[in-house]
Amino acid sequence: MAGGSAISGLVGARVHRKEDRTILTGTGRYIDDVQERGMLHCHFLRSTVAHGRITSIDVSAAREVEGVVRVFTGADMSAITEDLSFAQPIPGLNSPSYPAIARDVVRFVGEPVALVVAESRYIAEDAAALIEIEYDLLEPVMSTAAGLAEGATQLFDDVPGNVVHTDEQLFGDIEAAFAQADHVVTQSLDQHRWACNPMETRGGVATYETGSGQLTYEASTQTTHTLRFLLAGWIRHPIHQFRVTANNIGGGFGLKFSAYREDVAVCAAAKAIGGTVKWVEDRNEHLVAAGAAREEQLTLEAAVKADGTLLGLRVTMKLDAGAYPINPPATVYAGLVRTTLPGPYKLPAYQFRHHIVATNKASYISLRGPWAVETLVRERLMDKIAHTCGISPVEVRNRNLITLDDQPTKMITNVTLENVTAAETFQKLVEMVDLDAVRREQEAARAEGRLLGFGVGTFIEPAPGTQEFWAAVGFPFGSEPCRIRIEIDGKVTAFTPQTPHGQSHETTLSQLIADELGVGFDDIRIVYGDTDATPFSMLGTGGSRAATMASGAVVYGSRELRKRLLEIASHILEASVDDLDIADGVVSVKGAPGASVPIAQIAMGCWLAPEQMPPGTNTEMEFVANYDGEGGGFSQASHACWIEVDQQTGKIEIKRFLVVEDCGKMINPAVVEGQVIGGIAMGVGGMLLEHSAYADDGQYLAATFMDYLMPSAPELPEIEIEHLEFESDKVVGSRGVGEGGTVLAPAALLNAIDDALAQVGRERVTETPVTPTRMLELLGVIEKE
């Protein structure tokens, strides 16, 4: 498609990942690999009740166990730390502060009530079992409806009515839209709670040096600078003597963007003891206490013309925030849903209301594509509009999608869309699918007693979004820094505030630098995850921003250093800068390869004898670039999903899955496809298998992988991927793709399930997950419990 990106060469190639040399040989350094001399181990005793007042806690027996160094109760920990507060100057936001370890009241099963520090994890766990706690039980609030009910138990004194936040925003003339409508189409969905479940759970190793007062925290985190900034205040430690590092990270998916009360307690314990303290949560702790996401209930009312054209949309959303706020505030998630929900469609009028409600569950956290419910409900609504108007799901989208010819244009939420190709991805998807053949195959299958379904969906992803978009959401967009240094031997080191955890930043950033500076791919080192070395940024890795923002920073930084190299070389070679080129670490005169000078020679002169370099040239071989995103942008994709439903067991088999995606110029197609496939796997697993389920009394029901089911290879077919690579005239034409599969795959999948149900005269899905039991209920094979 059209384009003019200035990036070429290695960029666009399927370069093997640098990270694999470490990861696949088992030589990486994860938190559980850390073994320091004299290191102590932590274990958190956690609440067994969902809501209760602590009336007594006796830790005397635990303190007597041989090998136990310290036992911290809530009172002990509060004496050396500040309560965690995530309050923001957001009108109407009720954001209660809370202690690192519960002091008076527990508000979910799994909340920390004591911390045991011992010579081994085994000793710590055994000692914790000896702690005696008595609770005065309180009535738990286990749903948004229960939390908002008249006379409901109040979780916090400073969260009246259990409402963390409520808001309503209106765009356009919504009343006129509904007055003109030929149809009003209503769609509701109750989405369940599911968890991030990275291979490596949360954890950290804190070391306090009593002589210097230096505190170092090696953590499994997505954002080292944010963690350092928040923890320093909570543990009352000077930030200039606080260093946060991260090495290899076994996945995050949004979970590790935040700072948690366990981080506070571990760092405070290390400081109080004067040594090294390690904590790694086990899988049970992760499932019970780390937090989960996606628990929202939405109702949409669409005003439409008889031909399926959208006139207006009313949306109400309730979000189950769990007990305690974390960073970012839940208003950001509501803002993401509100701002993104109109998607790539023309929508003249829009009203959005939300209630964020506190309940007795673990915290609502960020999870890969935290706005995803907007795509899920919108794309299913489009199918229902098609059914109501008697047209096909393809036609209803074609009549409402914003095309390139319509742009630049404004979403109804006042966000400018430019270079957005969702309509083009959908057109390509339709060209690749023989829709008539799909229906013929379905009819033939029904004649054999088999049930097939087919569904589509399309979306746009703010990756990284725009200044307007994030202002509408209520979250900073921010620029992206990167420090690049040409070393004395001509090799290159780049320092980025990104903290990659599977996104292949070492590979893709090296590809960009290699192209720009003309140095070898293996002559570049990417440094990340160290607050003492990397430029400051409160955003770290998240929101699919790296493909644009980190890429832009390294491109601009590399170009500045390239300019300096060429200026110096032009004097040495007595040639115009315009006549010079750099390749394989050598600056040469075009057409005269014998007239050349190695980058290493220039760098050595700049570092060792700058006064002897050509006068008037810039000999600084280090530069910090800040990239503003050039206005940012969106990725987009369209998905098609084919399923077969086993009407005896309720099992749903995905027979085929097709993706047409456009993230602009691909830096590394293999990395892009890995992210797309991984995202789809996560989205499918979330819809069909995974469920962070609670009982009515607040007990957590999926505390092991025996109960919390995860997708594996047999659950997925080969994913077919088609790339469009629309390129704008921006210097960096690449956009993020890490979250899109998780966002859009559930919509295409549920539309396929709805399609299958419609063939046997059954109602659409209104709640998730669609487990085999739930599918049998939908088919009418068994009664709903």
CA distance 111 to 79: 19
Same domain, 667 and 726: yes
| Domain assignment of residue 201, given as a range | 34-138+196-289
Same domain, 63 and 210: yes
Residue 121: φ, ψ to 5°: -65, -35
Q: Provide the number of structural domains found in the chain.
A: 3
Same domain, 739 and 653: yes
DSSP letter, residue 405 = G
Same domain, 742 and 723: yes
SS3 458: strand
Tell me the per-residue pLDDT of 521-557, one tens digit each, with 9 for 90 and over.
999 999 999 999 999 999 999 989 999 999 999 999 9
DSSP letter, residue 154 = P
Same domain, 559 and 624: yes
Same domain, 576 and 720: no
Q: What is the CATH number of the domain that holds 91?
A: 3.90.1170.50
Q: Residue 624: inside a domain, yes or no?
A: yes
Listed residues 241, 256, 289: the one ending a domain:
289
Q: Residue 349: inside a domain, yes or no?
A: no
User: In the chain, how long is the greatest CA-to-CA distance?
Assistant: 86
Listed residues 586, 608, 629: the one ending a domain:
629
Same domain, 422 and 568: no
**The pLDDT of residue 4 is above 90:** no
The DSSP bridge partners found for residue 658 are 640, 720
Question: Pairing between strand 276-280 and 40-46?
Answer: parallel
Question: Pairing between strand 310-320 and 350-357?
Answer: parallel
Q: Residue 312: inside a domain, yes or no?
A: no
Tell me the per-residue pLDDT of 49-58, one tens digit each, with 9 for 90 and over.
999 999 999 9
The conformational region for residue 564 under phi > 0 = left, psi -120 to 50 = alpha, else beta, is alpha
pLDDT of residue 732: 93
Q: Whole-model pTM above 0.85?
A: yes
Q: Residue 178: inside a domain, yes or no?
A: no
Same domain, 658 and 773: yes
Q: What is the mean pLDDT of the chain?
A: 96
Same domain, 127 and 264: yes
Tell me the per-residue pLDDT of 203-217, one tens digit each, with 9 for 90 and over.
999 999 999 999 999
Q: Residue 23: inside a domain, yes or no?
A: yes
Burial class (CB in 10 A: 0-12, 13-18, 19+), 176: middle
pLDDT of residue 784: 85
Six token digits for residue 232: 């320093």
Same domain, 512 and 442: no
CA distance 638 to 426: 5
Same domain, 563 and 601: yes
Q: What is the CATH number of the domain that holds 600?
A: 3.30.365.10
Same domain, 502 and 421: no
**The pLDDT of residue 489 is above 90:** yes
Q: Residue 310: inside a domain, yes or no?
A: no
Listed residues 605, 629, 653: the one ending a domain:
629
The DSSP bridge partners found for residue 187 are 300
Q: 8 falls in which pLDDT band (50, 70, 90)?
A: low
SS3 472: helix
CA distance 410 to 773: 43
- What is the mean predicted confidence (pLDDT) over 345-367? 98
CB atoms within 10 A of CB 593: 11
Tell me the per-residue pLDDT of 378-404, one tens digit each, with 9 for 90 and over.
999 999 999 999 999 999 999 999 999
Tell me the per-residue pLDDT of 146-181, one tens digit each, with 9 for 90 and over.
999 999 999 999 999 999 999 999 999 999 999 999
Q: Residue 6: inside a domain, yes or no?
A: no
Q: Residue 9: inside a domain, yes or no?
A: no
Nearest to 400 by CA among 312, 527, 482: 312
